Amino acid sequence: MIEARRLHILRAVADHGTVTAAAAALYLTPSAVSQQLTALEQETGHRLVDRSARGVRLTPAGEILLAHTNAVLAQLERAEAELAAYSSGAAGTVTLAAFATGIGLVVAPALNRLAETAPGIRVRVQDAEGDASLPMVLDRQVDVAVAVEYRGAPGADDARLTRVPLYAEPFDAVLPVTHPLADGGRVPLAGLAKDVWIGPFPGNPCHDVVVLACEQAGFQPVMEHTSDDFRAVVALASAGAGVALVPRSALRGMDVTDVAVRPVDGIAPTRRVFAAVRCGAEEHPLIAPVLAALRDAAAED
């Protein structure tokens, strides 16, 4: 009989690529993870992983088992949801990871809704960048992620996750007031090809959006200044340090009197935001109201 917890460990190893990284995500020791993998191989009668100095890679038998693992773990999530519903599920805690702007735009309004519609549900919020929250969901560190599309993100057809689209927002150009394009209307990105740029660190999903937009406009941005804090980005632009692309919602409530904020000409770079849970968990009586509140908050924004 295959133990479900060992399937979870197999998926974590496949996701993270090394025993050490999987152990850290699961709050286990590397030796414990290795022991569980060995036990799983004994249970199945197949070698499931190849170990090397570079990390761990699933064997063909491991890949077969992983495909079933996603279905089994999703069904277990559904079973937990039905059991929770059977015992009413009217009260409990849901953990949620979201990036800062998403917290302000949809998470906080959703909490206000839940206080009225489901007062027994307590949501514990954790600030996490859009590319960090999805692994946290898969590793069961949190129940819900508010995340953004980024290069390498699990796709909408990923069997491990259920996604709920929330909103999409354009990026606006933020220019020093002395910039030649500051007094115009829409800004063509190609017109900023020779400028120094300010933007998020590599790895931040917004960095990918900015770089991809510039590449599509025919140039590679010279990212001389980096910050994941958009207030710092705007402050640097106001000091004449460079130009930037900033999500429109991040500019709300910010003092932009010392910069020029202009829409991008043509198809503007866009940040697409969604909520995600482990497949099957969307039916849980604690999680379903949270997803509904997030969706409603996004629809009213």
C-alpha triplet 196, 202, 205: angle, nearest 5°: 105
Is there a shared CATH topology between the 90-166+272-299 domain and the 168-271 domain? yes
pLDDT, tens digit, 9 for 90 and up, residues 2-27: 788 888 888 888 888 888 888 888 88
Lowest mean pLDDT among 55-59, 95-99, 197-201, 261-265: 55-59
Nearest-Å Rg of the Cα atoms of the chain is 22
Report the topology of domain 4-83: Arc Repressor Mutant, subunit A (1.10.10)
- The CATH H-level superfamily of 90-166+272-299 is Periplasmic binding protein-like II (3.40.190.10)
Q: Is the pTM of this model over 0.85?
A: no
Is residue 255's pLDDT more than 90? no
- Domain boundaries along the sequence of the chain: 4-83, 90-166+272-299, 168-271
Architecture of domain 168-271: 3-Layer(aba) Sandwich (3.40)
Please state, in angstroms and rounded to a whole number, the distance separating the CA atoms of residues 299 and 277.
19
Q: How far is CA 301 from CA 105, 123, 235, 276, in A?
A: 7, 20, 26, 19
Which pLDDT band, with edges at 50, 70 and 90, does 260 fall under? very high
